[in-house]
Amino acid sequence: MRPFIFFSFLLIWHHSVGAWDYELHRFVNQIALKTLPDSFPAFVRTTEAAERIAYLSGEPDRWRNSNEGALKHVNETDHFFNIEDLESLGLRLDELTGFREEFVASIVTARMQKSALFELNWASMGPNRNRWVPGLLPWKLAEEYGRLKSGFSCLKTFEQHGGQTLEIVNAQASVVQVMGVMGHFAGDAAQPLHTTRHYNGWVGLNPSRYTTNRTFHAWIDGGFIRKSGLDKEAILRRVRPARLLWKSSNPSDIEPVFSLTLNFVREQFTQVDVFYSAEKSGALKGAGTAVGRNLMETQLLKAGQFLGDLWYSAWILAPKDFFLQSALARRKLAESEK
């Protein structure tokens, strides 16, 4: 019987519910677009590109609707991070590695250190075999930032070293794709219920007597705003210009992007109590109070600002792609020798 105890201990409350509704994810990406300075590449602001970026905010949730096990296995855990679960796993928030696989391995290592009887029983880990992972949202967001930087590196190199028009257009399309998809995860990160095991009503000890209602998540994701309305123009007026998230005089420094995404998620985790107590006070009931509406608007704004900062920083900090540069130089040479 003992191993069974360890398995059940290991199972994580998984977020089987959605995220901000598509309309709100779209709006987060639109806020982020609004933060970009005029100096930012203009191709992202054409009507088509802006619509594509808004549309792609919903893409990772569309993947959730698929029945493909291999996709669900990796995609489901990218949308949340249950911070409280670290403790039972024997892990500390301020000691986490920014490398996804290393973090996943550290969960197994921590378990093995706690019990010589520990073994991973895959059949008990849910249909998609991932119910032992407390979520990977901060890693996913950092990875998407890396993809965007790579896209900008490629684009800059094509632009500056003789890329053909179609190559430049394709590199721009890749940038638009990553900007849109990564926006989804910035949006999720600003939904406080995506940072906690209390993601859909309070679970376990409940001294503050918060709601245990299993509709709370859907209510915060969109039900409340459908009822209360959202003054998009007022939110867009509060936007500040995107800023560089990180500066260093030493070019060999590695950007601390994971610590930025982790810190962002950690900050939103502090809002879990705030949201539950707002629910308790009635501020989120029906069309809500000014306090309740402001809470929601502030989270959407935070998501859009952070996303805009990530986009802007990826563009500024993307180095040249030297591999591509030398390939373009060889091509140019071969053409001149014809």
Q: From the CB of 79, what's the least distance to Zn ion, in Å? A: 4
Q: What residue is closest to Zn ion based on CB? A: 19
Q: From the CB of 53, what's the least distance to Zn ion, in Å? A: 16
Nearest residue to 155 via CA among 249, 45, 147: 147
CA dist 38 and 45 (Å) reads: 10
Q: Which listed range, 147-155, 156-164, 186-194, 214-222, lies at the site for Zn ion (CB under 5 A)?
A: 186-194
Residues 6+ apart with CB under 8 A from 241: 35, 36, 37
Considering only residues 2 to 21 of the shown chain, the ones binding Zn ion according to CB under 5 A are 19
Q: From the CB of 291, what's the least distance to Zn ion, in Å? A: 26
Residue closer to Zn ion by CB (options 19, 33) is: 19
Q: From the CB of 25, what's the least distance to Zn ion, in Å? A: 8
Residue closer to Zn ion by CB (options 10, 190) is: 190
x/- binding map, residues 133-172, to Zn ion, per CB under 5 A? ----------------------------------------
Residues 6+ apart with CB under 8 A from 75: 60, 63, 64
Residue closer to Zn ion by CB (options 155, 303) is: 303
Residue closer to Zn ion by CB (options 19, 155) is: 19
Task: Give the residue ranges of DSSP H helices in the chain.
Answer: 2-10, 22-35, 47-56, 59-64, 69-75, 85-89, 100-114, 137-160, 165-189, 216-218, 224-228, 232-237, 257-269, 271-281, 290-317, 322-336
CA dist 49 and 213 (Å) reads: 40
- DSSP state letters, 256-277: -HHHHHHHHHHHHHTHHHHHHH
Residue closer to Zn ion by CB (options 262, 283) is: 262
What sign does the dihedral 79-82-88-90 (CA atoms) show? positive
Q: From the CB of 213, what's the least distance to Zn ion, in Å? A: 21
Residue closer to Zn ion by CB (options 76, 321) is: 76
Token pair of 61 as six digits: 């949730």
CA dist 193 and 273 (Å) reads: 10
* Residue 188 in contact with Zn ion, rule: CB under 5 A: yes
Q: From the CB of 187, what's the least distance to Zn ion, in Å? A: 7
Which of residues 14, 34, 79, 217 is near Zn ion by CB under 5 A?
79
Enumerate binding residues for Zn ion (CB under 5 A).
19, 79, 188
